[in-house]
Amino acid sequence: MSSVDSDNINMKILVCNVGSTSLKFKLYEMPQCQIIAKGKVERVGSLDDAVLTYSNQACTEMIQQTHQCIPDYKCGISRFLSFLISTEYGVIAEISEIERVGYKTTLSKGHYGIHELNDEVIQGMRDWLSLAPVHNRGYIDAVEAMREVLPLATFVGCFETGFHRDIPLSRRIYGVPYEWYETYGVQRLGYHGASHGYIADELNELLGHNYRAISCHLGGSSSVCAIENGKSVDTSFGMSLQTGLVHAARCGDMDCDLRDFLLHEGLSEEQFREGISAKGGLLGISGVSSDIRYIEEEAKKGNQRAQLAIDVFVTGIVHYVGSFYLDLGGLDALVFTAGIGENSATIRRMVCQKLEVIGAKLDWDQNDNCHGTADLSAPDSKVKILVIPTDEELGIARRTFEYGKVSI
């Protein structure tokens, strides 16, 4: 068996993004990074109201099928794959042409970075279900379903924690007995690795390989990442997804003794869990929505709780950016990405107003008229202020293609 550089081989790679009730697919031709087909299944689990969409490079318009019966992941996966080989809409002759499947997996005990999703790695995902119950369960179920229909493909997990493995231990370890780190792996792990890793790839092209940057992935789930020369050196996330900035409906950083206090005060365990994971964050503070667009609209009308939610969100971003600025010893680029980062001129403006003290000056007109990739820096800004739309799927396709070289 010999090893061949993956750069010399064309490969079809399917990237699968799994939600609690959704599946997203993109089929890439690598290394050209060309999307040849994509699809989405919404409302997985429905017997009569699921939605399936599909398009390929030859389609003039997207195909959408509504009111579908898609009871589980396996059915949704099979329906998408049937499009890929269909006479009318297909882009490949046989399913076996898909050599690898890449996933934006969340975490696995003892496994970080990029790994083939073998039984050992899947067991590690099961072992840490308590840290990411919704995310890990969805991926475990989807991988098992995909294995049945693609038995010859290699399955690769691009773990969200992987991009952060270069963070120094002094910034990862908690102030708990050291034995907890050794025995249980208790440490700051970090997430959104696919997104921050993609931003690092883009910055490598834009700035070269010698720079200091801070990436702000702001969306339904949000995080800030310090990047030095293409590598993560600090992150706002901790060991679980229940940390860092306030999120759309998750609380973010919280005093660890609040649970015992609130249970003593009369809350049930279920009420507490729901409060910090489904009714907290921007939704919990604003009382309006988990969607920043609606919160901004209400704030403009004078809703004080809506404005408070925005202020808390911005304050958290600024605190982490300020801390990471000192960690990095300066800053060359500040990047906004993901749904809020790419689309909310208000959040970008409020953050940058606070950061003028470090020389980050925003061009307000450019900010208000930003669509897609943009440089929003004022002429006299000492820091490049950039909007770079994230492309997690492309990042996963690249990592999956590069994984371990290709053996023949």
The predicted model scores a pTM of 0.88
CA distance 303 to 311: 13
Give the type of residue at 232: S
pLDDT of residue 18: 84
Residue 225 and residue 235 in contact, taking contact as beta carbons nearer than 8 Å? yes
Same-domain pairing of 148 and 216: no
CA distance 142 to 122: 11
Report CA-CA distances (Å) from 284 to 280, 296, 379.
4, 15, 39
Same-domain pairing of 7 and 101: yes
Same-domain pairing of 60 and 155: yes
23 Cβ contact list (under 8 Å, min separation 6)? 16, 17, 40, 41, 44, 73, 76, 77, 80, 142
Domain boundaries, position 31: 3-159
Domain at 50, CATH number: 3.30.420.40
pLDDT of residue 74: 87
Element (H, E) at 386: strand 384-387
Residue 120 placed within a domain? yes
| pLDDT of residue 406 exceeding 80 | no
- Mean of pLDDT values over 147-173: 92
Question: Of 159, 177, 193, which one is at a domain's C-terminal end?
Answer: 159
Residue 379 placed within a domain? yes
Please, which pLDDT band fits residue 135 given cuts at 50, 70 and 90? confident
Residue 403 placed within a domain? no
Give the type of residue at 133: P
Residue 168 placed within a domain? no
Residue 224 placed within a domain? yes
Which pLDDT tens digit goes with each residue over 255-277? 989 999 999 999 999 999 999 98
Same-domain pairing of 77 and 223: no
Percentage above 90 pLDDT, the chain: 67
Query: What's the per-residue H, E or C state across 1-51?
Result: CCEECHHHCCEEEEEEEECCCEEEEEEEEECCCEEEEEEEEECCCEEEEEE
Which pLDDT tens digit goes with each residue over 294-346? 999 999 999 999 999 999 999 999 999 999 999 999 999 999 999 999 999 99
Residue 352 placed within a domain? yes
Residue in 314, 256, 258, 250 with CA at minimum distance from that of residue 282: 250
Tally of domains within the chain: 2
Same-domain pairing of 387 and 258: yes
Q: Side by side, which strands form the sheet with 374-375? A: 231-235, 223-228, 212-217, 333-337, 384-387, 374-375
Which pLDDT tens digit goes with each residue over 187-237? 999 999 989 999 999 999 999 989 999 999 999 899 999 999 999 999 999
Which pLDDT tens digit goes with each residue over 24-52? 899 999 999 999 999 999 888 889 888 99
Report CA-CA distances (Å) from 322 to 41, 103, 328.
40, 33, 10
Same-domain pairing of 152 and 212: no
Residue 223 placed within a domain? yes
The residues with which 12 forms a beta bridge, in sequence order, are: 29, 98
Same-domain pairing of 122 and 44: yes
Same-domain pairing of 274 and 155: no
Same-domain pairing of 229 and 356: yes
Same-domain pairing of 107 and 213: no
Instruction: Classify 83 in phi/psi space as left (phi over 0), alpha (psi -120 to 50) or beta.
Output: alpha
Q: Side by side, which strands form the sheet with 46-56? A: 63-70, 46-56, 34-42, 22-30, 11-18, 98-103, 154-158, 114-116
Residue in 314, 308, 280 with CA at minimum distance from that of residue 295: 308
Residue 398 placed within a domain? no
Residue in 227, 235, 226 with CA at minimum distance from that of residue 210: 227
Same-domain pairing of 229 and 136: no
Residue 397 and residue 13 in contact, taking contact as beta carbons nearer than 8 Å? yes
Same-domain pairing of 318 and 232: yes
pLDDT of residue 107: 87
